[in-house]
Amino acid sequence: MKITVIGTGYVGLVSGVCYAELGHQVICVDKDMDKIRLLREGGVPIYEPGLQELIASNTAAGRLSFSADLE
């Protein structure tokens, strides 16, 4: 399934990463380009145990991506 998550705060980012971990194709969208840049570079704007590792593995697998553009 293809899923778009709007917002990369605590709820949106964790939800999107979990959907990707379940095997779905996920794009997380946020209007804050600095946050998107951080996520694309492997950083994490919030603290949640294990989140950074899940972002890295799902991004590498091609299931998770980040964008500032809803189009």
Domain ranges of the chain: 2-67
**Look-up of token digits 């705060």:** 9
Helices (H), 25-66: 33-40, 51-60
Orientation angle between helical segments 51-60 and 10-21, nearest 10 degrees: 50
Q: What is the pTM of this model?
A: 0.92
**What pLDDT score was predicted for residue 67?**
98
Name, in order, each residue with C-beta under 8 angstroms of 66's C-beta and a sequence gap of 6 or more: 8, 27, 28, 29, 30, 36, 39, 40
Structure confidence by residue, pLDDT tens digits, 20-69: 999 999 999 999 999 999 999 999 999 999 999 999 999 999 999 999 99
